[in-house]
Chains A and B, each alone.
Chain A
Amino acid sequence: MSDVLAVADHRRGEVRDVSFEIVRAGRELAADLGGDLHLAVIAGDVDAFADRLSLAGVDTIHTVDAGAEFNHDLYAGATAALFEELAPTALLMPNSVNGLDYAPAVANRLDLPLVADAVGLSYDGGLEATREMYGSKVATTVAVSEEPFAVTVRGGEWAAAEDAADVAVEPFDYAFDEATSGARVQGFQEVGAGDVDIADAEFLVSVGRGIEEEENLELIEGSSRRPARRCPPRAPSSTTAGSRRTGRSASPGSR
């Protein structure tokens, strides 16, 4: 008990940024709890991912070598099995699009209270999570009176853990046959080729109703080419945070 189990996120052979962030969040929470941080790596080239995620603060990496890509039945099943094996106090999962596809199922299956989309966590005799509401207009704190509990963490809220370390890697056996799954991933598709991933954009120009007609967008396109140099990274104010943070880039909040 008092341990933290966090689950990493990867896609198409790449560890996603939120995995490094969840390590930081998990480490801090484990420190509050006085326990260890376990990191689960599920599907794909788990050895390579485990290598990449051998970071200071992680006590043990558990690899589930099954399936090539994300499948929510695999993730939910393996996470629940690991949870039962390790019996941690806290289960951390990313509030990524894939997290949305399995974390609630895990919480339900294990009968854990679920705090979704947390932007801050602390533990002092009980979990207190910070999360936003009303389109990020307000922040709230929620207290969880039961343990163990499950939390999904928003990407971009914790600094990525970067320091490599030597971490024990333990394979975890979980049998999975995707053919038996009711939801089978058939592949991926790039969309909006030529479009900009706003998460990677150097700066964003937001255009409102005042533009009136679509043709008038040229005015903006013209002016936005003009700034010759970078826009210094600025701390998100509440306004910009609305789109950048709750938007989860191109994920649920967008559009």
Chain B
Amino acid sequence: MRHVALLAAFVVLLSAVTGPTVAVVAATQSAPATAHGPDAALSPPEAGPASVADPGPEVEQVGALAVGAPTTNFTVELRSDASARWTVETRIPLETETDRSAFREYARAYEDGTADGGPSAVLFRNAAEAASEATGREMSVGQVNRTATLANGSGTLALRFTWSGFLATGENGTLVLGDAFATPGNGTWLGSLSASQQLVVVPPANYEVSDVSDGFRRSISDRRIVVEGPQTFSQGDVRIAYSPVGGSEFPLAWVVGGGAVLLVVVAVVAYRRGGLRAEVPGLPTPASEPDGGADPATADAGDAPSNGADDPGPTTPTVGADAGGAAAATESGSTAASADGASEEDLELLSDEERVERLLERNGGRMRQGDIVSGTGWSDAKVSQAAVGDGRRGPHREAPTRPREPDLAGRRGGRRRRRRPPGTDPAAEPLPRARRASPPAVPKPFTPAPGKVCAMKILVTVKEVAEAADDFAIDGTDIGEQYLEYDLNEWDDYAVEAAVQLSEAHDDVETVSVTIGPERSEETIRMALAKGVDRAIRVWDDDVAAADLDVAAKTRLLAAVVADEEPDLVLTGVQAADDGFGATGVSLADEIGFDWAAVVNTLETADDLSMAHVHRELEGGVEELTDVDFPAVLTVQTGLNEPRYASLRGIRQAQSKEIAEYGLGDLGLDAGAVASPIERTAMYEPETESDATYFDGPAEEQAAQLADVLRNKGVVSE
């Protein structure tokens, strides 16, 4: 749970820092005369991106995110073959160990290419495509590589790629940098550099600068041209010509080209998927269209404050009153635009940027968990709990134009809430925008047709498990609540991934998660939803809460859900990390008359989804190969797949997915269903049979004593 929240924090952080650039790009292109000048827009964040977050009560207890403001360097090494090797490095100061460990998690996903946020080649590919169209020169972006490193208290995300055809070739063998920043219709994809960004252009070997345009500020260091933000660019502002050494008639003549040909460079680009596309003319919403209200970037930018302003919730005054101040300090570009009165929120036009901000708000409490822990000395579990329930209900967290769902807090048992599946509500899903902003990798929302037309329905069990802190104390027959931290059961994570992969590989597969757990577990459920589960069921009521559920009771509850949902496949984890019974899946299978296989670590389904070939992981490096007919229950072993990180888009989408709450009555059961003849009567710490020996004296003596022990115990010879 925690790493997801922190992951989201990184995504938001990176998006927040790089996002404003794009907003400014568009604003510059479309409405250069508007009041929000580039200086205001690009003023450096003073409080850090985190301060954009939800100013809810719990947030007030923490300071700013300990993570410092990221800085980004774009290094463009030009080559004599007219290509350029780009290195885009974003450096994030990480002040606490919590931040650093969150970064490590994030780094893995970044290197795998599964992370949202961070420098992404997609944007540059799109840029190259646009530039190629504008110049008529063939270009491509290849040899992409991503690395993430952590050193000296800073995390660095680096994207490297080669952009072929980056330079134009001129007369006398000159190479000219500049037109690769163009987009069709006299636009540029390089609209600005923010204060935290700089661009460094390294000349090709054996070339020297012969001409530089005057359209931008720069300095020269060791033959490199360094362009520091904040500054903005129009097409043609940046142009640098290089001549082969000895062949130039104007060696180092730093003359202005009278505005003719300018140079290059810049910046960059929003590190968010699809962000660039919106800026490229020729796409559905040309960035050059001079209508500020319809401009997606403007609409974007205006959203966060308008979101707050539209919202009557108790936190509104903070957000609204502060819209031009606090938000401006952090979200430079967007705030400026919003202050402009581009506040008419049209969900159809909301951009990723806006949604990022909204996410930031929603995740405000959670993204600071690490800081809450270090700042308050609370346990993670306590913080976790404090944050629970803030995910959905805070009034300002709902999209203002989205239909408000009834408050679920008081609803226990009784009626079931049936919501339209995600994707079918036109108000909830701004389709045109979604299409425009969606790269192909985004799975389409599940759209059921009338009746049971799904090729398959998968029910996946999701348990929120408790994990004990290293230092814990037992209170009665359990570990004290303050020492417990809750998370998605590891095995279930693999089951969720298996379900989502099946739904991605086949048409019309619906995935539904089922959880027996209190309201607290909705955070975990949202994680499964963020990973791609279509909707969720949570079983709980006072009787369930009062019971000590054994395998048979869980079997009865889940069997009732199965009867209701009629899935074709049920995926469960092999066991739960906390109580480790490892029995519910198979017990359920027997109860509902499904076939089954336990401890599955390889899963291949038949094309017609009638059965699966599975491997069961036996002891000692042997796997059993088994064919299982559907409908079936498979208990999933870790290692079946690589569970994904929730994407930014997924986290966002999860907020609007359904979590239906069922009580015993809804399932046709009564309190007898959860009665159990098994009762935990004691808990204690097992006695450890190790004994510790302490060595005294100077290091040498201690070493000698240790060596004796090792020799005596036979650990080493001699």
Contacts and interface: CB of A to CB of B under 8 A. Distances in A.
Contact of A108 (B590, B638, B678): B590
A199 B577 CA distance: 21
Contact of B627 (A142, A149, A184, A250): A184
Contacts of A70: 624
Nearest to A189: B623
Interface in B603-633: 613, 615-629, 632
Range of interface residues on B (Cβ < 8 Å): 35 or more
A230 interface: yes
Contacts of A114: 550-552, 581, 583, 587
Contacts of B616: 97, 101
Nearest to A128: B681
B688 interface: yes
A82 to B, nearest CB: 17
A226 B710 CA distance: 13
B686 A140 contact: no
B210 interface: no
Contacts of A190: 621-623
Contacts of B455: none
B310 to A, nearest CB: 45
A76 interface: yes
Contacts of A185: 624-626
Interface in B319-372: none
Given A108-B552, A113-B677, A141-B680, A252 B472 contact: no
Nearest to A141: B682
A232 B550 contact: no
Nearest to B472: A137
A188 B622 contact: yes
B583 A133 contact: no
A252 to B, nearest CB: 5
Contacts of A11: 618, 622
Contact of B678 (A97, A115, A134, A195): A115
B108 to A, nearest CB: 12
Contacts of A131: 580
A133 B579 contact: yes
Interface stretch (A27-35, A47-55, A235-243): A235-243
A245 B317 CA distance: 56
Contacts of A189: 615, 622-623, 625
A191 B639 CA distance: 13
B678 A138 contact: no
B584 interface: yes
Given A113-B552, A134-B466, A142-B680, A104 B590 contact: yes
Interface string B418-433: 0000000000000000
B679 A236 contact: no
B685 A138 contact: yes
A244 B87 CA distance: 46
Contacts of A225: none
**3 A-B pairs with the lowest CB-CB distances in the bound complex, closest first:** A182-B595, A228-B717, A104-B583
Interface of B: 104, 466-468, 472, 474, 477, 479, 491, 550-552, 555, 574-575, 577-587, 589-591, 595-599, 613, 615-629, 632, 635, 637-639, 676-686, 688-690, 713-717
